[in-house]
Structure 1
Amino acid sequence: MFARVGQPAACPWRLALITLLQFSEHLSDRCAADAVRARIDWKYLLGLDLTDPGFDASVLSEFRSRLVAGEAEALLFDTLLTLCRERGLLAKRGRQRTDATHVLGAVRSLNRLGCAIETLRAALNALAVVAPDWLRAHTDPNWIERYGRSIDDFHIPQGETARRACAEAIGDDGHRLLAAVDAKAAPGWLRNVPAMVVLRRVWLQNFHVTEPPTRGSEGDGRIRWRTEAEGIPAALVMVASPYDPDVHYAKKRATTWIGYKVHLTETCDDAQPPLIVHVATTPAPIVDRAVLDPLHAALATKDLLPARHLIDAAYIDADGLVAAARDHDVVLTGPVSKDNQWQARTEGAFTIEAFHLDWDRKIATCPAGHDSRSWHPNYNLGRTVIRIWFAAQHCRACSLKPRCTRSQRRLLTPRSREEHDALVAARARETSSAFAADRRRRAGIEGTLSRGVRTMGLRRSRYLGLARTHLQHLLTATAINLGRLAAWIGDTPAGRTRRSAFARLMAQPAGA
């Protein structure tokens, strides 16, 4: 927590409190340092004299860097949760709710060609600092015109053919630089320069080398722009910016962004204040349901597992329902995936619930009383789906066929026994009044995300890299918890959702 060299060390507890105040008011480092010097309320809280000169703004950045370097990003967050648990403000095995929102990276959004140009510029600038003499001896004089200026001044021609030729010229320049760095005469440490490591990744992902020309073959062995035909890497591994390789492209419905996702989990019991108990920061392309099992494992480590977990449809699947109940004794409450077959959308048609499944004998019986002909498990992408076929002669002659299948014979595709039973039970719960009440309670997490986005800068990352962005999210969550504890101690009532004057007017009965 203390700096080993440099200026006299500041008190860690005071820096921690200043950092939380900074995030609660969405201040920059410079504004927070100015507040320590000028604001009497901050001086009173920090126990400083009115004449205290404060410190340089860089002290706050160095403090955060020490937290990340020491893998202590969650230290302030966990310490506050421990104090709350000791004072009975966290219910054991209560209710919790989780939701996520997208986070924009602290870099500009670039397309693939723009990312390639900027990556080569970044590599040249890095080599100009660490190996200027070597770079001067191996650079092309024309590169200063292409990469010596900002990408905004780089002329990218119009038209598919011209753009491809421009991209391949850039690819050839980068390939020549990589070949020079990989040469035996080059210093070995140049290959490990971070900008060169990123350049190699970007070139592998966006370019490919044609086969060297041989007699009777076509092609000139040049660097080619990679297209769908050659295969473009998935968004999770694709580098979107040379300045922050951890950011990735993602799309959810109509929203597209380059950055991360943050998942917040908070308590929602009536007798305690709503407190955030877990924060997960993930790459943007990671689907929500993949976060659930690590989330429960982390809560189990802190002995903060809920009995009922309120989530939305993006987190729930059959695997998760079974795993949460089996591994952590947690009941997931939320809308599960619907049956999208036409029978589920047609009144009077036979869905899978109309069939009797004898799991021990591996026989299914249809509403007409016919047994299935075959029952075989199908393993695909780590999931087990049972394929149950009925005999074609029974289906063709059956009077119930129009309500059962439009094919020659009926096919059922349930999941494994545990997953199928979990889905049936979850769909049955959705019709209850208790489920509707839980859905209304789950909506409270939207307010938490909205507060973080609107007043604390949760939407945009302040820093580069996943680790520092996660630290930002943890500090934001800690600041939210402090505000809620202050409101709880002061008996401040929770705010209600605001409605416009027009909405309030139309909600009133006519003539009122």
Structure 2
Amino acid sequence: MSLQPSSPAEVPSQTAAVARAAFPRGSAYLRLRDELGTVFTDAQFTALFSARGRPAEAPWRLALVTVLQFAENLSDRRAAEAVRSRIDWKYLLGLDLTDPGFDASVLSEFRSRLVAGHAETLLLDTLLALCRERRLLVARGRQRTDSTHVLGAVRSLNRLGCVTETLRASLNALAVAAPEWLRAHAEETWSERYAKPTDDLYVPQGEAARRAHAEQVGRDGHTLLAAVFSPDAPAWLREIPAVILLGRVWVQNFQIVSVDDETGTKDDPDHKNPQTTQVVWRTSSEGTPPSLLMIASPYDPETHYAKKRSTTWIGYKVHLTETCAADRPRLITHVATTLAPVADRDALGAIHADLAAQDLLPDTHLVDAGYVDADLLLASARDHAVMLLGPSPQDTQWQSRQSGAFRLQDFQIDWDRKIATCPAGHTTTSWSPDHNLGRTVIRIRFSSADCKPCALKQNCTRSPRRLLTPRRREEHAALETARAREADEAFAEQYRWRAGIEGTLSLGVRTMHLRRARYLGLAKVHLQHVLTATALNIGRIADWLAGEAVASTRRSPFARIISQAA
């Protein structure tokens, strides 16, 4: 389809008259059109369309309809019906009352163009740029970030179910791509094991029986892979995505081991080659990949297993960042969709980089404990002049919990000379960098000859000698500064603003199914989250234009009485 960019049309007079009569007090979409115009233009989407072909529907209208359908949680078909039937939508889109609209499939194609053109954030970025022009959004304010889990659009499978379903998916793909070749190489028993979905198959009970069943599936998959990669097989079979995925899943869940052949075979009756190979199911002793690499479903290889406290899921994770100024609407400025096992702190650097590219960095960034670490405290201030405000990692050693015990802060550390002095006056030069859970620490060891006879040992260490593990100098200083800031009474007053982001996540979950992926693949799920954020922003802008105040946190009658009494 081709695009001939045109200027957005004014609202037809008849449409405007009917809309004013139908909404004498105005409505959200009428106010948006009157205050913000059309928001989008055709010229923004030129790169997503061809220069030749049948004329496409105006992309600025498709963009608006896409945002509206996410705001109201409508399917493509119901959104297309709303374009034909609703007066407020026609007013916002500048359509005649008699306009027939478009087919619902156009919306799906438009989203596919956004993903193919790597323009998932285009709609959100355009809206934020318009808000900056209207002074509804300014840089270097106060922002807050939080994350939540997202269930993938695939059913949850255990490891045995995943390998079985992966082999079944590969057989189905080969049946479509190379039916004659598969008919010649498939074994008769495969139809009994893989003709039906995994849920409909009988799986034997008991650990030994289940392992034997798993290894039978492993042998079948290994046989199929050997046939695909044999020299006489067509080379293009190896490029089928389902076959490539089959090889990855088999490496993750099975291993090929050599075993002694004591019985001899028809081809080797004299035991001249006593070593044969066997497909063995991997267990914890053999080792399996970490969840970030482990494939959880053949139908969406980018979904992964993750666990956060008591919540376990297979899917993704979404991070939302929003402003929280008291005199402006609270707008979502950034959306990040990551693989489920990615820790919150590992996503913060990319969030700051993206905000810097859009010139939307905050002065103060309110986050929970999952985003705060010594290196992030340092990098945020050094690279972006952002104060990361949140609960900093605390000292978990027993000395920090026992009154009178000597903590790290009670030792004098000379960073330039690399010398540490304990409260008893003993010094050490045992100083070596080390790594702990992906972080660089300094291991400072005191001499056991000094520690064992020391009169203060009872309050210092329970080991033969004291070991200190501070972070590197700059990171240690940043961490100590953050801990001192938390002890100030002003910290609680500043940090209370972070709670609002949980309300935003709750609103997205309750009204727009934020925690359920609608599509397969990280790129499409990210587009879903960006459109959800854009829809939330549209609603908040409309409320701001109507003069509606931000709702306060609900409290029970009992809580209000207690607070009044206090």
Normalising by structure 1, report the TM-score: 0.95
Output the CA distance in 2 between the equivalents of 1:195 and 1:498: 50
1:163 and 2:210 correspond: yes
1:488–1:20 Cα change, 3 Å: same
Output the CA distance in 1 between the equivalents of 2:174 and 2:111: 28
For residue 242 of structure 2, the aligned residue among 188, 191, 195 is: 195
1:48–1:175 Cα change, 3 Å: same
1:509–1:309 Cα change, 3 Å: closer
Output the CA distance in 1 between the equivalents of 2:173 and 2:430: 64
For residue 67 of structure 1, the aligned residue among 99, 114, 118 is: 114
Greater shift, 474-483 or 50-59, is seen at 50-59
Spell out, residue by residue over 1:190-218, the C-alpha distance to the aligned partner (whole angstroms, 9 max, x if none): 11111111111111111112226565998
2:418–2:429 contact (8 Å) kept in structure 1: no
* Counterpart position of 1:367: 423
For residue 135 of structure 2, the aligned residue among 79, 88, 111 is: 88
Spell out, residue by residue over 1:475-506, the C-alpha distance to the aligned partner (whole angstroms, 9 max, x if none): 11111111111111221011122234565566
Shift of 1:55: 2.1
* Counterpart position of 1:229: 285
Greater shift, 207-216 or 350-359, is seen at 207-216
> What percentage of aligned pairs have identical amino acids?
65
Shift of 1:508: 6.3
1:377–1:152 Cα change, 3 Å: closer
Shift of 1:463: 0.3
* Counterpart position of 1:140: 187
Residue type of the partner of 1:322?
Answer: L
* Counterpart position of 1:327: 383
* Counterpart position of 1:499: 555
* Counterpart position of 2:221: 174
Shift of 1:347: 1.1
Output the CA distance in 1 between the equivalents of 2:259 and 2:453: 64
1:276–1:481 contact (8 Å) kept in structure 2: yes
Matches within 5 A, 1:176-325: 176-211=223-258, 213=260, 220-325=276-381
1:91–1:269 contact (8 Å) kept in structure 2: no
Output the CA distance in 1 between the equivalents of 2:426 and 2:242: 67
Gaps of 5+ in 2: 1-44, 262-270
Shift of 1:16: 0.3
1:96–1:309 contact (8 Å) kept in structure 2: yes
1:101–1:261 contact (8 Å) kept in structure 2: yes
* Counterpart position of 1:405: 461
Output the CA distance in 2 between the equivalents of 1:217 and 1:334: 65
1:453 and 2:509 correspond: yes
Greater shift, 179-188 or 219-228, is seen at 219-228
Residue type of the partner of 2:200?
Answer: D
Spell out, residue by residue over 1:91-111, the C-alpha distance to the aligned partner (whole angstroms, 9 max, x if none): 221111111000000000000
* Counterpart position of 2:68: 21
1:426 and 2:479 correspond: no
1:436 and 2:489 correspond: no
* Counterpart position of 1:50: 97
Output the CA distance in 2 between the equivalents of 1:117 and 1:219: 28
Output the CA distance in 2 between the equivalents of 1:262 and 1:91: 24
Residue type of the partner of 1:339?
Answer: D
Residue type of the partner of 2:541?
Answer: L
Shift of 1:422: 0.9
1:280–1:295 contact (8 Å) kept in structure 2: yes
Spell out, residue by residue over 1:239-277, the C-alpha distance to the aligned partner (whole angstroms, 9 max, x if none): 111110010000011100000000011112223221111
Residue type of the partner of 1:311?
Answer: V
Equivalent position SS for 1:463: coil
Equivalent position SS for 1:384: strand
* Counterpart position of 2:19: none
Equivalent position SS for 2:258: coil
Output the CA distance in 1 between the equivalents of 2:69 and 2:167: 36
Equivalent position SS for 2:427: coil
Greater shift, 408-417 or 455-464, is seen at 408-417
Spell out, residue by residue over 1:339-365, the C-alpha distance to the aligned partner (whole angstroms, 9 max, x if none): 111110011211111112111222222
Aligned length: 510
Shift of 1:381: 6.3
For residue 400 of structure 2, the aligned residue among 337, 344, 347 is: 344
1:146–1:379 Cα change, 3 Å: closer
Output the CA distance in 1 between the equivalents of 2:344 and 2:486: 21
1:99–1:311 contact (8 Å) kept in structure 2: yes
For residue 450 of structure 2, the aligned residue among 379, 394, 398 is: 394
Shift of 1:128: 1.5
1:217–1:373 Cα change, 3 Å: farther
Residue type of the partner of 1:374?
Answer: S
Shift of 1:409: 2.6
Output the CA distance in 1 between the equivalents of 2:440 and 2:405: 26
Output the CA distance in 1 between the equivalents of 2:59 and 2:495: 42
Output the CA distance in 2 between the equivalents of 1:32 and 1:211: 60
Equivalent position SS for 2:336: strand
2:124–2:533 contact (8 Å) kept in structure 1: yes
Output the CA distance in 2 between the equivalents of 1:182 and 1:217: 24
Output the CA distance in 1 between the equivalents of 2:54 and 2:188: 44
1:116–1:202 contact (8 Å) kept in structure 2: yes
1:99–1:264 contact (8 Å) kept in structure 2: yes
* Counterpart position of 1:463: 519
Residue type of the partner of 2:241?
Answer: P
Normalising by structure 2, report the TM-score: 0.86
Output the CA distance in 2 between the equivalents of 1:454 and 1:82: 28
Output the CA distance in 2 between the equivalents of 1:219 and 1:41: 76
Output the CA distance in 1 between the equivalents of 2:291 and 2:275: 30
* Counterpart position of 2:24: none
Output the CA distance in 1 between the equivalents of 2:220 and 2:466: 60
* Counterpart position of 1:154: 201
2:448–2:465 contact (8 Å) kept in structure 1: yes
Equivalent position SS for 1:409: coil
Gaps of 5+ in 1: none
Residue type of the partner of 1:411?
Answer: L
Output the CA distance in 2 between the equivalents of 1:328 and 1:22: 36
Residue type of the partner of 1:459?
Answer: R
1:59–1:395 Cα change, 3 Å: same
Equivalent position SS for 1:211: strand
Output the CA distance in 2 between the equivalents of 1:18 and 1:436: 42
